[in-house]
Structure 1
Amino acid sequence: MATKSLFLSALLLVAVGMAPHGAEADTQLPLGIISGIVPCSAGSSINVAAVPVFPNAAVQVVCGGTVVGAAKTDDSGAFTINLRMLSTQLLTSLLQKECKVVVVTPLAACNVSLASVTGTLAATVQILGADSGSSGLGGLGGLGGLIGLIGQIIGGVVGGVLNIATAPFSVI
């Protein structure tokens, strides 16, 4: 486990060192783009295709207890949040699956019959393409999955964008 943490820390330092600094950073594309569709429903692992969507809902990206981005859903319940900061803390939170999208607007705003639902509608986020299976390397799909994830992170930092998606929403 210590070897994995040391390796990921070294990777993050390399990624941050490759990012533009100063005046160059102003023209950099967002580090991450998180997108998804918010359902108007209660429960766990909500299938967005089977329920109505939640238009005009305020959503926030929370990583390690800190709000790092926010947006409002459109008429189709879709949102896109651009993460414009590059930090080892954010990348570490993404890798350790400590980030989630939280719907700030109460469920009653999309359907009055959901007024009695207690809890918050939320979904974890994940870097697209990262293996979510379990293995000896913390669920990164073994050495091949870890190498693939490293390539995605470095490619995202150099290219400017990491694509991040939400898992199914659940009331928590």
Structure 2
Amino acid sequence: MQNNIDKRVLKVIYSKEELEKRISELALWVNETYANTEGLIIVGLLKGCVPFLAQLIKDVTVDHKLDFMIASSYAGGSKSLGSVKIIMDMAEEISGKDVLIVEDVIDSGITLNKVKEILETRNPKSIRILTLLDKPYRRKVALNADKFGFHAPDEFLVGFGLDYQEEMRNLPYIGIFNKEYL
């Protein structure tokens, strides 16, 4: 695999195989958690969730609807700006429904916390959060995922949905970005 590593990646920390295995385990959690649910809505936070969500729903066996939101506290760079902008809202009505927010990474938690606050005003039956990567040591708000794939290191990560200036999301692995390319 080392020969196929993007030159902007210092080190792969989660291989394609490791990601696939863990995401299958997370899908089992979704199936168990929502086994007796009617009206599950899975909300993907774009753009980073796409590879994770696409892989996840292959193994999700409970009926669900998919919807998406775009919210950002980043401006195409590598640091959270702190203020949150809702760029695209979801289309589905969530009142009385179970909502599962799917995110690629929780870092400061600012963006996701704002999204959760907005969705709570719409009276869902429940809201849970599933993230592929968790960086709890970076939190600026009191927010935790209900389930996560991996505790991620305090590094700038790219691949599998994670980007640098909207690029590198397509890498089939997650790696540490080489800051020489900043």
Using structure 2 for the length normalisation, give the TM-score.
0.23
Pair member with larger Rg: 1
In proportion to residue count, which structure has more helix?
A: 1
Question: Which structure shows the higher strand fraction?
Answer: 2
TM-score w.r.t. length of structure 1: 0.24
